[in-house]
Amino acid sequence: MSSTAHSAPPSEYPVGKIGMWVFLGSDAMGFATFVVAYVVLRMSQTQWIGQGLPPPPIGLTGFNTFLLICSSLTMVLALEAVQKGDQKGLVRWLGATMAGGTVFLLIQAYEWSHLISAGMTPWSGQYGATFYACTGYHGLHVLAGVIYIGCVLVGALRGRIGTAEASMVEILGLYWHFVDLVWILLFTIIYLL
């Protein structure tokens, strides 16, 4: 057998990038199921927010949405930095993205504690259950993203991520932007409608 028989066919994309898109596709189905459950249950109720329960806070979460959009900007700036070979820029923008994700989680934790102390728990009927399921599932994705960014950031700090490894940052960015995109939709459906 010739040595070329085992060589991979030339590809337009890094395998990891296609893999991330396939993962995002399957993950989108998970989010879609949560959102559909929320919408169907909400439409089946005459009164969605139970008596005495607080509505989701729009102002604070609006700020959180803006924060996530800011972190998407810093993520593309990190990609641009690594593509240009700007190691300091990569570390700076990745750090800023990680900080944005962390603050998002802290604000969400504050929001949850505020709602729980006001009597709204995951057991407060379908309103509470779907609210915490949707925002919690998304929050877990943000947490995973912050850890993922942290891992790449450590590599960048050790000088192991240069122009040749730019696809690693691009793949990380795909995940992070997806998390942002999903939140844009969740914010509208759960908080604003």
Which residue's structure tokens are 């998970």? 30
Contact residues: another protein, CB under 8 A? 12-13, 17-18, 21-22, 24-26, 28-29, 32-33, 36-37, 39-41, 43-45, 58-59, 62, 65-66, 69-70, 72-73, 75-77, 80, 83, 126, 170, 173-174, 177-178, 180-181, 184-185, 187-189, 192-193
> Which amino acid, 54?
P
Nearer to another protein, 112 or 175 (CB): 175
Distance between CA atoms of residues 82 and 77, nearest Å: 9
Give the residue with the Cβ less far from another protein, 72 or 124: 72
Q: How far apart are the first and last CA of the chain?
A: 63
Least separation, in Å, of the C-beta of 7 and another protein? 19
Residue 165 CB, shortest distance to another protein, in Å, is 18
Decide whether 109 or 185 has the Cβ nearer to another protein.
185
CB of 158 to another protein, least distance (A): 26
Instruction: Yes or no: say if 144 and 110 are a contact pair by the CB < 8 Å rule.
Output: no
Nearest approach in angstroms of CB 115 to another protein is: 19
**Of 107 and 189, CB closest to another protein:** 189
User: Least separation, in Å, of the C-beta of 147 and another protein?
Assistant: 21
> For another protein, which is the closer residue by CB, 28 or 154?
28
Dig out the tokens for 167 from the structure.
């696809």
Q: What's the min distance (Å) between Cβ of 103 and another protein?
A: 16
Residue closer to another protein by CB (options 81, 91) is 81
What is the chain's Cα-based Rg? 20
